Amino acid sequence: MSIGKRAGINFRLLSASVLLIAGVTFTLGFIGVSITQNFMHQKFADRIQFLAKYLALNAEVGVLIGDRAGLKILALNLLGEEDVARVVILDNQNNLLVDLDREVSGPLSNVEMPVVFKKSGDENILFEPASGISNAPDPMKQDSIGKVQITYSTHGIDVLMIKISTQYIVAAAVLTALAFAIFYYISRPIIHEMSDLAGVARRIGQGYSLLRANPGRIPETRDLAVAFNSMLDSLDRSKEALNSANRKMMHQRILAEAGKFSLIIAHEFKNPLGIIKSSMDILKKDFDIEKDNILVSYVEDEIRRLNRLIEDFLMFARPVDPKFRDTDLNFMVKDICERFVLIYPEPTVSFNLNISDQPFNAEIDQDLLTRCITNILKNACEASGDKGQIFVDTAVMDGSWILRISDEGEGIPETELIKIFEPFFTTKSKGTGLGLSFASQVAESHGGSIEASNHENGGAVFEIRIPGYNSI
Amino acid sequence: MNVFAEQSAAPIKSAAVISKNIKPYYEALEGYSTKFREIAGSDTEIFELEDYDKDSDPLSGRIKNGGFSVVLAIGPEASRFISSDKISGMVKIYTMIINTDDIHNQAANSFCGVSLSIPPAEQITSIISRISGAKKIGILFDPKYNELFVKKAETEAARQSVRIIRIQVNTHHDITPALENRLGNIDVLWMIPDQTVISESLVPFIIKKSIGAGVPTVGYNRFFLQNGATMAFVINYKDIGAKAALNALKALREKTCSWESPDYEIINNQKIIDMLKLRIKSINENIDQDVSNEHR
């Protein structure tokens, strides 16, 4: 695997930034140094050109009259200038008038300048012969009467350019390092937070679905983390909904199967039971069996229990088909509780009612909902045993009517909380496991819900929620 | 008052041909045209030789067919041009030329005007009358160009009981040794127009050398004064032009004309005089005041 594929974003960003900054800095520097070098060489050449021009100007008389001594003084003066290595003065016949040099290191360049005969001014032109009049050669008409050559060294410039280049390279390196440091300082928290995010994602992938990303301090990564967390929450919700849908489907399938089975069993049992009951009645009559005969009473009790069981099966198996009517739910609950007090009189359990006097009307099937609430109250009473209180509270929230039934029993184990509404799930020795399942069916058939939880002080809490319309 | 207006109904037409576009020529032209207008009452038509091709027939034709009574040549080139046979049937006046002989040889008929050359006799007289003790006058010259002038000067000097010391040079290279040999043997260095000796850069050098030897220098225009000459004969170019106009009108009127010398003034350079501790006779002004002592 190549390093490019293995390199992280931090390394890539830092490399890119360093390469870019270094590239730009060095390119600009190279251009700058080149421009400076050209400029300095040009300026230097201009200076030497100026010196050559100056020498040529001053050498005019010396060249004209062949004054080598005077020209030598001029050349010596120029040779005193820094970087000048050699001064040569020639006449127009290329005869050497002056040739002076000195030891100068470095590469050498040459500048040549003609020694020009100065043109006469207006007043002197008058006294010159007319052009073309004289046939004699006229040296005065020649523009160039000789030339000066200056050889100079660019060693000084080269040394200076090396110094400038070195300083520039150092400056560029420092700038690059500084850019690296700044970029590292800026990118590190971003990368760190992204790494954290990646770590969280990895751990979530490993199964820690409840983990959430730390939002961090940088707005962008914070937004990313929040979005990531929202996505996870959304996924959780979707997963929960999917699970719930699956559970419901399973539940429906079980219910359907159980219903079919229950119907078959109920019908298959109901006739024999009817025959057994009738036969028992005939036997009691024919053999004049006493009413308090314990064995007969056992048989009759068991027949009744079996009959009740079959009735429960049939009740559960038949599809719920509510007949809705406008009903005051608060009034209905009060009525159910008052009836229940008669069944479970104190000191067995005491009912603590907190039911609103304000009516809350909704379209419900009173029989189904009464049976649903009765099942829960019965469970609460059985869970309380011979002591404790049953709390019945109603409330209205978000347009829904809420009935909360709490007991002071031992509560429901956490592992069983999600199973208690499943059909045939029971913790009782003689329970069918269909009461709460039926209650759940009824709540759902009214567009509502039923939930079970544990009170923090102990005891189970059942909450029925029925959507209604505005209370009067 | 227009003198000629009474004699002739038609105005006299005058043309002027200028050799080069330089200030002294235009000063001469201004002097000529002003004087000509003042007397003859007509303007002068100007032709610049540099605007036409060499040996320009169109210019010859324009002058010949222009109905001019008089044509003035300013400078040697213009003088050579009008001296040819192509231009005829009018009075020809020449001015602002040093060496008249070259032109004279070409001029078919009358050859007159105002020259730039101050007669050597006048110059010698002025030198010895002004610079005390000037007995030996050195002339730096190239015989190729000025042998004739020097001979005239020698003759005139002898007449005035002074000596001309020849400082002959054949090339520029001879100048330094010639000066070094002769400067100690002369009282004054007289500089004359000479191709070998005179140039914008040599004149300051020669004057410097001369001053170094304590010898005063005499030049022939302001340039010499500006470069340290003790004295100079400075010609007034406007006056030359005016003189040429009078000459032309005289030629028209009398059918005859002559050569005349230019008017000039002698200007001293007081700073140099003081520096060389010279005794100058009848000095009324110095270079700073720029006024002549003697105006002819």
472 residues of chain A, pLDDT tens digit each: 444 455 566 777 778 878 888 888 888 888 988 898 888 888 888 889 999 999 999 999 999 888 899 999 999 999 998 889 999 999 988 999 999 999 888 888 899 999 998 878 877 888 876 654 443 334 445 578 899 999 999 888 888 888 988 988 888 888 888 888 888 888 778 778 888 888 888 888 888 878 888 888 888 888 888 888 888 888 888 888 888 888 778 767 776 776 677 667 777 777 788 888 888 888 888 888 877 788 888 888 888 878 877 777 777 666 667 788 899 999 999 999 888 888 766 667 788 899 988 889 999 999 889 989 998 988 888 888 767 888 999 999 888 999 999 998 888 888 888 788 887 777 776 677 778 888 888 898 888 999 999 988 888 999 999 998 753 3
Q: Closest approach of chain B CAs to the CA of A136, in angstroms?
A: 9
Under an 8 A CB cutoff, do B116 and A66 touch?
no
What pTM was estimated for this model as a whole?
0.57
Under an 8 A CB cutoff, do B221 and A64 touch?
no
Q: Which residue numbers of B have CB closer than 8 Å to A's CBs?
A: 19-20, 22-25, 75-77, 79-80, 96-99, 102, 116, 144-145, 171-173, 175-176, 193, 195-196, 198-202, 205, 220-223
Under an 8 A CB cutoff, do A127 and B223 touch?
no
Does A398 contact B at CB distance below 8 Å?
no
Nearest-by-Cβ selection for A122 from B23, B173, B199: B23
Q: How many Å apart are CA A277 and CA A305, to the nearest integer?
A: 12
Q: How many Å apart are CA A90 and CA A111, to the nearest integer?
A: 14
Closest chain B residue to the Cα of A139, Cα to Cα: B196
